[in-house]
Amino acid sequence: MAPYLDLVFDIPANQHFTYRNLAAPSPAKTPREAVPGKRAMAPFGKRDLLGYIVAEREEAPAGVDQASIREIRRVVDTECTFGAEDITLAEWIAAYYLCGLGEALAAMIPSGRRAGSSPTLHGAEEEIAPSPLELSDEQREALETITASAGSPAGIPTGSPAGIPTGSPAGGPGGAPMFYLYGITGSGKTEVFLRTAEEVLKQGKSVIYLVPEIALTHQTSEAIKARFGTLAATFHSGMSPGARLSEWMRARRGDLRIIIGPRSAVFAPLNNLGLIIIDEEHDGSYKSGNTPRYHARQVAMRRRAVSGALLLMGSATPSAEAWNLMENGRIRRLYLSRRLAGGKPPEITAVSLEGTEGCLTPRLKDEILTTARMGRQTILFLNRRGFAYFYHCPSCGFELTCKHCSVSLTWHKDRGRAICHYCGYSEVPPKACPACGSLEAGFRGFGTEMIEEELGRTFPQLRVRRVDADSVARGKSLEENLEMFRAGMVDILLGTQMVAKGLNVPGVRLVGVILADTGLHLPDFRAAERTFSLLVQVAGRAGRYFPDGKVIIQTLRMGDPVIEKSTALDVDGFFRAEIAQRRALNFPPFSRLIRLSFRSRDSTRVDKAAARFADLSRPLLPPGADILGPAECPIGIIAGNHRRHLILRGPDMGSLHGAARIALLRYNKGRDSRVYAEVDIDPVSLL
């Protein structure tokens, strides 16, 4: 037993802390020896913190007063929860995302202190159930192309497509090829994913299968369990930390060979990793919203480089980044062009909402009725919850905004309150304009709740269900509602994003988008990409099994290129225009971004901090790089915190990253403790 241990903690410091090992092993029944790979409680300042033992040492670090070295309190784990490979990956995350090593480990390892109960099955040699489907020609060709490359790591020269910073612990680029299953919704991508996984498992290797948070329904995990039995486990957000930890441990021991889960499953400690699948690659949930703000695709590329595992992504609407890599040949595109379950791409029509009273155009109402008469079902989509959107006074221009955030309050009729969607603040809205007393003032725009009411009035005979964050929070779970919809007990399913993704219901004939333009106004260069992708995905819910699918897209922007391209399901055309625009404006994928955001209760301090960071980083910028801002964030105040940001933009991540790292070090030396700063490498949201 080494006399000293190096620990890291979940704190923003990239630093090891040395502790004395326990004087004598505790007399507990299970001796908890302190070794790297285990977690331990240790005194840190005035508190005790959970730490990760990353190294042991025979001597105290040079120049440290021996007497000042404290002893750890106790070892938490009986068995190692992480190994040398996990530490190496965590080091890469800390270097790339500019966070502490302990923060990286904390993001990777489930937070449970004690593994929950799970079946102790050993060997993982369960039979794989054969698929009942016969592959189409396109599917077979895709599968053969992928598996043919599996043995030859030098398949495609890749360089460093992900722009991993050179000179960081990232190491060199790996050789295993990357594939992209690009196919319309319903073209059978899942089956190709499963068959590829099967092949890789047969070679004795293991598989990570990433799915968007929202798509990880009971249905998906059941399908995978049916196929792979006890070889497979799912990670999902509903699991307790203990249950997650026990699956993590099973993977470490080699008792699991395929893990299905959202973003964080990319860290699964599987031995002999052979394949990483990223389903719905474009999905926003692959990017973490907290430090470290990692992107699962980026981590997957790193794991691929280290392990030689194949990377297989798929979507009907790739991200602009992936699209560009396919155009350059860095990612090999495999195209699936046909729907396989009897469906056809739906007929899509854009309809102007101008001049319509209420939220439903006559055209959409007609189609809803026709669909119901056929005994079929309708999905209505609006990316905005609540009853109405904002409170506006036409005589003086007053708007009702949150007391703590610079955003409009949303009227939630069923609760009788106007609510802030950012911080939760709510109030009873005024009867008259608080500024000028006008009685004309009131809520404008509309949300899901208002549409629910209009549907109830217009079609009292139809059964309507609303699914959004509000309806799900109160009572009926998403699963329950979807189950009823699937069973045909609901005529119209109305909802936000939740209905847009992955829903695979045969009875659906009609998809209606209430207002397609909601996301187009956002001050973000990805606004068009997101709107396009969402519309194509929503449209993809229609006509999956019958060739008569119909989609009505209501809009106030007839003729807008995004609306036109999505109506035509013209992914190539959309990206041709979008990529040209990104190139002209020098936005990703033609540049790389690092966003620094600052927040404080004090607006003067936050301005100063942002300006200071800009001054520190300016002389460090590599040729061709620039700084956007500092500026107020599009949402200038959230929960009483003033928000500023600046964006470092450069031609490649390597040089830009170096500048950001050094600027951050210098910034931290003299930083204002009342300003909170956060760094986001490859930001996805700029709000």
Q: Which of residues 337-396 bind Zn ion (CB under 5 A)?
A: 393, 395-396
Least CB distance to Zn ion at residue 386 (A): 14
* Virtual torsion, Cα 118, 121, 127, 128, nearest 10 deg: 30
Residue 86 or 283 having the CB closest to ligand ADP: 283
- Contact map string, positions 225 to 264, toward ligand ADP, x by CB under 6 A: ----------------------------------------
**Cβ atoms < 10 Å from Cβ of 347:** 15
Residue 136 or 458 having the CB closest to ligand ADP: 136
Q: CA 668 to CA 486: how far, in whole Å?
A: 54
Binding part of the chain for ligand ADP, among 25-33, 178-186, 256-264, 488-496 by CB under 6 A, reads: 178-186
Q: CA 38 to CA 408: how far, in whole Å?
A: 48
* Residue 90: HSE in the Cβ half-sphere, 13 Å Cα cutoff: 27
Q: CA 236 to CA 221: how far, in whole Å?
A: 10
Q: Which does 188 bind (CB under 5 to 8 A by kind): ligand ADP, Zn ion, none?
A: ligand ADP
String of DSSP letters for 278-335:
EETTT-GGGB-SSSS--BHHHHHHHHHHHH--EEEEEESS--HHHHHHHHTTSSEEEE
Least CB distance to ligand ADP at residue 18 (A): 51
Residue 131 or 237 having the CB closest to ligand ADP: 131
Phi, psi angles (nearest 5°) of residue 456 = -60, -40
Residue 339 or 384 having the CB closest to ligand ADP: 339
Among 436, 487, 568, 665, binds Zn ion (CB under 5 A): 436
Residue 271, classified by CB atoms within 10 Å of its CB into exposed (0-12), middle (13-18) or buried (19+), is middle
Phi, psi angles (nearest 5°) of residue 401 = -115, 165
Q: What are the residues whose beta carbons fall under 8 Å from the beta carbon of 129, sequence distance 6 or more? A: 226, 227, 228, 229
Residue 39 or 189 having the CB closest to ligand ADP: 189
String of DSSP letters for 220-263:
HHHHHHHHHGGGEEE--TTS-HHHHHHHHHHHHHT--SEEEESG
**368 three-class SS:** helix
Among 118, 504, 581, 685, binds ligand ADP (CB under 6 A): 504
Binding part of the chain for ligand ADP, among 33-41, 43-51, 185-193, 634-642 by CB under 6 A, reads: 185-193
Among 35, 69, 135, 462, binds ligand ADP (CB under 6 A): 135
Binding part of the chain for ligand ADP, among 133-141, 261-269, 509-517, 518-526 by CB under 6 A, reads: 133-141
The most distant pair of C-alpha atoms in the chain lies apart, rounded to whole Å, by: 83
Question: In what helix (H) or strand (E) does residue 219 lie, and over which residues does it extend?
Answer: helix 218-228
Q: Which does 187 bind (CB under 5 to 8 A by kind): ligand ADP, Zn ion, none?
A: ligand ADP
Note whether 404 binds Zn ion by CB under 5 A: yes
Least CB distance to Zn ion at residue 406 (A): 9
Note whether 312 binds ligand ADP by CB under 6 A: no
Note whether 183 binds ligand ADP by CB under 6 A: yes
Q: What is the DSSP letter of 266?
A: G
Note whether 405 binds Zn ion by CB under 5 A: yes
Note whether 111 binds ligand ADP by CB under 6 A: no
Residue 81 or 566 having the CB closest to ligand ADP: 566
**277 three-class SS:** strand
Q: Which residues bind Zn ion (CB under 5 A)?
A: 393, 395-396, 398, 402, 404-405, 420, 422-423, 425, 433, 435-436, 438
Q: Which residues bind ligand ADP (CB under 6 A)?
A: 133-136, 139, 183, 185-191, 340-341, 504
